[in-house]
Every structure is written in C-alpha cells, then in structure tokens.
Amino acid sequence: MIKLDIHKSGIGESDLGKIRPEIMESFGRLVRRESEMMGWLDLPERLSKGDAELERVLGLAEEIRTSGSKVTLLVIGIGGSYLGARSFIEAAGADEGVEVLYAGNHMSNRELVKTYKIAVEAENLYVVVISKSGTTLEPALAFNMFEKLAHEKYGAEANKHIVAITDAHKGVLHDVAKAKNYGMFVVPDDIGGRYSIFTPVGMLPIAIACGVGTARELVDGAYEASRDLMGGEFGDNAAMQYAAVRNLFYRDNKKVELLASWEPSFGFAMEWWKQLFGESEGKDGKGLWVSSAMYSTDLHSLGQFVQDGSPILFETFVEFADIPGADELPLEASSGELDGLEYLDGKTLAYVQKSALEATKLAHARGNTPNISLVLPDSSAKSLGYFYYFMMLSCAISAYTLGVEPFDQPGVEMYKQEMFRILGK
C-alpha cells in the first residue's frame, strides 16, 4: 500500500544490494522476537480476529459518544502516551459531536489554564489519563487538576467520567484508579509507549473522537501492513528498503532526516514519527536527527537552507495519491484581470499543489538535499493504519541495523531523574 520512490536520492540498486544482508538480519531479529518489547508486531492480527480488550474499548467509546450532549474529551498524557492518538485525530478529524482537548504534554501554565477554563465550561466532560507509572510529572500534574474538576462537576458520578490507561498491576495511577473505581484499561507490558497506538492508549481516544467504525478501519490498515511486510522479501518490502535507505544516507554522512508533508492535518503524525525514530535510534552517540517541515509554508522559511545550506540533510516526502474533493476547486479564469494568474486558467488547486511538490523535489535533489518519497493511496483511516505499522516496523529494522536497541530510552529516564532531584523528590 505504501510505495517507496528513491529516484531522486542518488541511491541505486547496487547500494541496496550491499546493505541487504544487514537489513535481513535486523528483520530476522524481529521475526525471532529477540526483545520482550515486541508485542506490537502481531497486535493488529490479534485485534482483527476478535480481541476482548478492544471490544471493551470500543464499547466504552460508543457509550461515551452517545451519553447525551456534546462530548468534551480531555486526553492527558505525554510522548507515546498521547502522540499516536493525537496524530490520528488531527489527521482524520474529530466528529462534530466531540471536542478534543489535551493536557499533560507540556509544562506551560498559560496553556494549562486555557484548557482548564474550557473544561470548566464543558457540559459533558470525559477525562482519559494515560501513564504506565503515574509518576511522569507533566501528566501527573494535569491529572491532579482535572481529576478534582471532574469531582466538582459530577460528584458521586465522577468515576463514570474518568478513565485510566495504566499498568495492569502496580503504580500510582493504577492504585488511584482502583481505589476510586475509575474505568481502567491496560498498557501492555510488552509494548512501549511509542509503539502503542493500537493498544487502548491510542484506540480509546481515537474511537471516542472519530468513531468506532473509524477505529476499526485503522486496525484493518495495520493488519494489512503486517500481512504485507512481515512476510515479504527485501525486493518488494518498502519498510525494509526505507530502513536501508536511511542507513545508507547515515553512512554517507547525512546527519538529518527531514520528513516533509504538504498537508497541515498531517503535522502531528510527523510529531509522532519524530518521537518514534528519535527515541528508538538516538543512543550510544548514534542516529539521525529527525526533523519535519510543512510545505509549502516552510519553503518560505527553511527552504533556503534545505536548498543551499550545509549538506547534512536528506528529505523524506509523505505523499497522498488521492485526496477526496481535491479536484473540486477549479481556478476561475482570470483572462483580462490584473492578477497575473492567467497561466492557471482551467487548472485546479490540486494540480497546482502536485506541480509545486514535484518542483520542490527536483530543485532540492539538484541542490544539497537528495530526497525520497513515501506514497500512500489516500488519507483514509485504513491508509493511516498502514502508515503507523509501516513506520514502527521500519524503525525497529533501522535501529537494529544502526546497532542500537530500538525499545528503550535511557536518555529520557536520565532527564527525569535530574528533574526529580532538583525538585527534591
């Protein structure tokens, strides 16, 4: 479903052939389940065949969606505990009857106060708090505030408006949720946060915001990806080849991968991608710096550097072959007008965008920035499900090929230890 185009990368078949044995060995480590944190690999298959926990998630989501007045969903989490859900909700769009708020993903007093004021006014507020331990400071602070608010608003009924997604057996949040009879779902022990979008961590907020049917389509896309990519050979496996290209660029002294999209709604999907690859590969003094750009906006800011700056970048474009309604906006004929746009007569905005995209790829390839493209059929829930699984698989392969463990994040834990020390914990 995802096509990889490397024609403007400068990388040839012979280059791919040389790195192929390393990629296949890295892929073999996944097939052999060499890490205990690989539960995400076969999760889409398990979900598609009827999973009791998923059905419980979807059942609660439907109950909340039909609970009366407009739903205000507050998702509390940081990093992998919320980026997957938010990235999909932003890309797909929440339903009209659902307002989605986020907290616990920053330490901005100003933003937290703004969110709190909206929640105070909400008629039908539901709080979903996501934390494996319950001790991560940003979500813990936010939950402290919004839990109290829910109890003020709903009194004895507050437990029906709070759901915790946390460890199955232990931890601060687990204990609080048990003691106060909040709804509870489990963060699986064998799936890390940045690989967790298809667990309740991602599926509950997505199903509430976008609908149960949309959530099922997301899983369908991931299952299709697992069938295509877990059994494929290198020659027809775009996930393996993407991992190969990234490592080839890295060895050629490219230090930064710039993920670029032309769709503003895809912005948080790129944020999810940055966490996935940044936490998985940035270890032991190794790894590409992962960044993102939103075109054409950033062509008028970062574009100069990308074109002519330090030759440290390669670009990965994420494209959608079909965008519903894209050809429904023909440009008005401008003959005789003074706007200078007569050369666009009869064309559509979709055609103009595609032309600008192609021009950008050509220009950057002729400059200092080789590029590749990942082409999705469309921006449907199914295609996005395929994208998430594709990226998780490719990331794990790429990290193993780089020589690092894909499933830990010791640097993040170090910052937390220092912060708690300064705060006197």
169 is catalytic: no
Give the closest residue to 77 by CA, choosing from 171, 169, 194.
Answer: 194
Which residues, including other chains, have CB under 8 Å from residue 344's CB and lie 6 or more apart?
331, 334, 352
What's the residue count for the chain? 425
CA-to-CA separations, 154 to 36, 64, 144, 149, 150, in angstroms, rounded: 41, 15, 16, 9, 6
Q: What is the dihedral of CA 285, 14, 224, 132, to 10 degrees?
A: 0
Distance CA 313, CA 296 (A): 18
Q: What are phi and psi of 186, to 5 degrees?
A: -105, 135
Say which of 70, 117, 180, 416 is annotated catalytic. Answer: 416
Q: Which of 171, 155, 199, 178 lies closest to 40 in space, CA to CA? A: 199
Assigned token pair, 39: 């539960």
Q: Do residues 239 and 30 lie in contact, with contact meaning Cβ atoms separated by under 8 Å?
A: no
Q: Which residues contact 288 (CB under 8 A, 6 or more apart)?
A: 246, 249, 250, 254, 255, 256, 257, 277, 281
User: In the chain, how many H helices and how many E strands?
Assistant: 15, 10
For this structure, is 300 an active site residue?
yes
Count Cβ atoms below 10 Å from residue 120 Cβ, excluding itself.
11
36, 169, 300, 328: the active-site residue: 300
Q: Which residues, 6 or more positions from 385, have their beta carbon under 8 angstroms from its beta carbon?
A: 44, 217, 218, 219, 220, 221, 222, 223, 224, 225
Is 279 a residue of the active site? yes
Q: CA-CA distance, 35 to 268, in Å (whole number)?
A: 28
Catalytic residue among 279, 281, 315, 319: 279
Residue 148 in tokens:
């109290």
Q: Which residues are catalytically annotated? A: 279, 300, 416
